[in-house]
Amino acid sequence: NRCRTVYAFAREMYPKTVKGDIAYGTAGFRTRAIDLDYVMYRMGLLAVLRARVKRAVIGVMITASHNPEPDNGVKLVDPMGEMLEQSWEKWATKIANVTDDKLEHVINDIIKECGIENMNDRPEIVVGKDTRPSSPSLAKAVIDGVLAMGGKPIDYGIVTTPQLHYFVVCKNTHRAYGEPTEEGYYRKLITAFKKVRGNEFNNGNYTNSIMYDGANGVGAKKVKYLKEGLAGSLNIAMYNDEIIGSGKLNYLCGADFVKSQQKFPTGLPQTPNLRCCSVDGDADRLVYYYLDENKKFHLMDGDKIATLIAGYLKEILEKTGLKLNLGLVQTAYANGASTDYITKELKVPVACVATGVKHLHHKAVEYDIGVYFEANGHGTVVFKQSAKDKIKNTYQTNNLSPEQKDATLRLINIIDIINETVGDAISDMLLVETILHDKGWDIRQWEAAYTDLPNKLLKVTVQDRTVVTTTDAERKCVTPKGLQEEIDRIVSKYPKGRCFVRPSGTEDVLRVYTEAATKEECDKLGIEVAKVVY
Ligand code: NG1
Ligand code: ZN
């Protein structure tokens, strides 16, 4: 009966209307919203199958993050907040592309291959969406899929991507990670933040006011609750909070605009030396920046955030006397100056992995405390359970000096400020503010740690981007034959030159990243390499 419902719904309400295939990539499915109805319905079906296999709650997030407003997308969230396991991406791609009359075959294949015997279980599927005007109808399609397959949809409405990951983890840990509600999320962050900050709201050169660019999206809607809860201890001045459907989502503002254009966003006051930050369309990326007296723009991107956090955690750990290993995970897009600084000055080990948060996350969990960030501002810190236990148990012992006790308590509260489940712009902002406050730094002192090498990211449209394959965390091309040798030859002409070429996982383009000693050389290097790959 159930099966009949599944296929009748598919044919009658969510027929596959698009001929071309789509692929479940680093960011799930992402394309024009008008082409996604049937994909959403089928992701609802798949989420229930995944939940039955894992015997756990699974999440479905509807968002296209920093993309323009007419786009949308969908990602599945695994039980501990991770991105969907890689081996299931093929099922997602298969179920999304099969014709309506073959849908039954694919579902039966999944059931058989994964040995699903609990087809009568009714697992919970938590569903969230961003503020795009297309999101409500797409969420309905997901929910219809969940219901048709016999799951129990829990609709959280409009939430940030990291909030949805948090809800999934709270539910699967039976609330050990926190309350699976929006209130629970804010309460956890606000309580921990206030405990660390204490009653001294300002400290040294640090002042407790920040300009916040909400990208006209969910990050603007949600920060209001935080703003109220933090009133006094941190003053958040909010900008770019247009009403839903304005068409302004991510337009000339938001973390992706600021990072990729290296420009000050529209809508914020251009007062010199104000500490500003931007989040992206689903509030999982964060960047900081300011304008100086000459209106020159200064960016503190994901690398700067990562080094600030890693350096600070190292200091705190030293104060506690705890022996825990700390590491930082970056991608090839991390500025070479940041990697140099963190290895040589801070002496924290650095690993480089392929683009995509799942790769960073998986590497970071190898450390007791793993900090991971993409240069674009997406990242977080993860703690091994054993490390958390050690920190808490140490705090209970009686042989700590007052300084050790203080540092250990600080670390305990900092863990609660962090959303370990996935990169979270709001939680990351509270962490950065906590560190700057403790150090008594203004944004210029933070910036002074190291100077970014001039860098450039180019997109090159080619006939078939899959002809380019890479190795060594995407830093070297394997095919086409001879390409890497040619790149090496060009790069060797430029002082401090670095360059790599890789196919994008989210757009039909090749990306060419370059770094060099001066801006002019960096641009020239980019153009030379782009000509070779074109
Ligand atoms: P692709 O399109 O594979 O380069 C982009 C970002 C990633 C990551 C994913 C997922 C760059 C250069 N690439 O990947 O860092 O955020 O989107 O959203 O920023
Ligand atoms: Zn995002």
Domain ranges of the chain: 2-158, 184-300, 303-424+440-447, 455-533
> Which ligand has the minimum distance to the alpha carbon of residue 509?
1
Strands (E), 148-223: 152-158, 209-213
Beta carbon of 26 within 6 Å of any ligand 1 atom: yes
Q: What pTM does this model have? A: 0.96
| Residue 470 alpha carbon to ligand 2 centre in Å | 25
How far apart CA 64 and CA 49 sit, in angstroms, is 24
Higher pLDDT, 511 or 534: 511
464 annotated ligand-binding residue:
no
Mean pLDDT along residues 101-122: 96
User: Hey, which of 65, 469, 506 would you mutate to test ligand 1's pocket, going by the most ligand atoms within 8 Å of its Cβ?
Assistant: 506
Third-level CATH fold of 184-300: Alpha-D-Glucose-1,6-Bisphosphate; Chain A, domain 3 (3.40.120)
How far apart CA 128 and CA 143 sit, in angstroms, is 10
Could you tell me which of 139, 527, 473 has the C-alpha nearest to residue 339? 473
HSE on the CB side for 510, CA within 13 Å? 25
- With H, G, I as helix, E, B as strand and everything else as coil, classify residue 152: strand
Residue 506 CA: which ligand 1 atom is closest?
2
DSSP-derived pairing of the beta strands 124-129 and 152-158: parallel
Instruction: Give burial (CB, 10 Å; 0-12/13-18/19+) of 507.
Output: middle
Mean per-residue pLDDT over the chain, rounded? 96
What letter would DSSP give residue 341? I
Q: Does domain 2-158 fall into CATH 3.40.120.10?
A: yes
267 annotated ligand-binding residue:
no
First-to-last alpha carbon distance for the chain, in angstroms, is 54
Provide the CATH number for the domain formed by 303-424+440-447 in this structure: 3.40.120.10
HSE on the CB side for 78, CA within 13 Å? 14
For residue 188, is it left (φ>0), alpha (ψ between -120 and 50) or beta? alpha
How far apart CA 330 and CA 327 sit, in angstroms, is 10
Beta carbon of 507 within 6 Å of any ligand 1 atom: yes
Residue 374 CA: which ligand 1 atom is closest?
15
Secondary structure (DSSP) of 392-419: HHHHH-S---HHHHHHHHHHHHHHHHS-
How far apart CA 362 and CA 89 sit, in angstroms, is 16
In words, the CATH class of domain 455-533 is alpha beta
Residue 26 CA: which ligand 1 atom is closest?
10
Per-residue pLDDT band for 5 (boundaries 50, 70, 90) equals: confident
| Residue 502 alpha carbon to ligand 1 centre in Å | 11
pLDDT digits (tens, 9 = 90+) for 399-438: 999 999 999 999 999 999 999 999 999 999 999 999 999 9
Mean pLDDT along residues 216-235: 96
204 annotated ligand-binding residue:
no
User: Hey, which of 29, 279, 504, 507 would you mutate to test ligand 1's pocket, going by the most ligand atoms within 8 Å of its Cβ?
Assistant: 504
pLDDT digits (tens, 9 = 90+) for 366-375: 999 999 999 9
Q: State residue 261's pLDDT score.
A: 93
Instruction: Give burial (CB, 10 Å; 0-12/13-18/19+) of 310.
Output: buried
Residue 85's φ and ψ, nearest 5 degrees, are -55, 140
Q: How far is CA 101 from CA 12, 98, 107, 357, in A?
A: 12, 8, 12, 35
pLDDT digits (tens, 9 = 90+) for 21-72: 999 988 999 999 999 999 999 999 999 999 999 999 999 999 999 999 999 9
One fold for 184-300 and 303-424+440-447? yes
Say if CB 330 and CB 306 are below 8 A apart.
yes
Beta carbon of 38 within 6 Å of any ligand 1 atom: no
How far apart CA 276 and CA 446 sit, in angstroms, is 13
pLDDT digits (tens, 9 = 90+) for 85-111: 999 999 999 999 999 999 999 999 999
| Residue 195 alpha carbon to ligand 1 centre in Å | 35
Residue 342's φ and ψ, nearest 5 degrees, are -70, -35
Beta carbon of 378 within 6 Å of any ligand 1 atom: yes
Per-residue pLDDT band for 534 (boundaries 50, 70, 90) equals: confident
Say if CB 487 and CB 532 are below 8 A apart.
yes
How far apart CA 167 and CA 175 sit, in angstroms, is 9
Report whether pLDDT(165) > 80: yes
How far apart CA 34 and CA 40 sit, in angstroms, is 11
Instruction: Give burial (CB, 10 Å; 0-12/13-18/19+) of 532.
Output: middle
Mean pLDDT along residues 177-187: 98
How far apart CA 534 and CA 532 sit, in angstroms, is 6
Q: What percent of the chain has pLDDT over 70?
A: 100
Secondary structure (DSSP) of 299-323: EE-HHHHHHHHHHHHHHHHHHHT--
| CB atoms inside a 10 Å sphere around CB 270 | 9
Q: State residue 149's pLDDT score.
A: 97
Beta carbon of 445 within 6 Å of any ligand 1 atom: no
Residue 280's φ and ψ, nearest 5 degrees, are -100, -170
- With H, G, I as helix, E, B as strand and everything else as coil, classify residue 59: strand
Known catalytic residue at 135: no
pLDDT digits (tens, 9 = 90+) for 263-304: 999 999 999 999 999 999 999 999 999 999 999 999 999 999
Q: State residue 1's pLDDT score.
A: 59
Report whether pLDDT(307) > 80: yes
Per-residue pLDDT band for 507 (boundaries 50, 70, 90) equals: confident
ipTM given for this complex: 0.96
Q: Which one of the listed residues 65, 134, 233, 427 is annotated catalytic? A: 65
Say if CB 351 and CB 328 are below 8 A apart.
yes
Q: State residue 438's pLDDT score.
A: 98
pLDDT digits (tens, 9 = 90+) for 196-211: 999 999 999 999 999 9
pLDDT digits (tens, 9 = 90+) for 440-480: 999 999 999 999 999 999 999 999 999 999 999 999 999 99
Beta carbon of 31 within 6 Å of any ligand 1 atom: no
Single-letter amino acid, residue 491 = V
Q: State residue 506's pLDDT score.
A: 83
Cα torsion 439, 443, 444, 447 to 10°: value is: 90
How far apart CA 361 and CA 418 sit, in angstroms, is 14
In the sheet where 498-503 sits, what is the strand order? Answer: 455-460, 510-515, 498-503
Single-letter amino acid, residue 507 = E
Per-residue pLDDT band for 3 (boundaries 50, 70, 90) equals: confident
User: Hey, which of 24, 26, 285 would you mutate to test ligand 1's pocket, going by the most ligand atoms within 8 Å of its Cβ?
Assistant: 26
Could you tell me which of 284, 291, 245, 6 has the C-alpha nearest to residue 131? 245
Instruction: Give burial (CB, 10 Å; 0-12/13-18/19+) of 143.
Output: buried
How far apart CA 521 and CA 534 sit, in angstroms, is 20
Beta carbon of 376 within 6 Å of any ligand 1 atom: yes
Could you tell me which of 289, 141, 268 has the C-alpha nearest to residue 213? 268
How far apart CA 106 and CA 95 sit, in angstroms, is 6
- With H, G, I as helix, E, B as strand and everything else as coil, classify residue 232: coil
| Residue 337 alpha carbon to ligand 2 centre in Å | 25
Say if CB 194 and CB 416 are below 8 A apart.
no
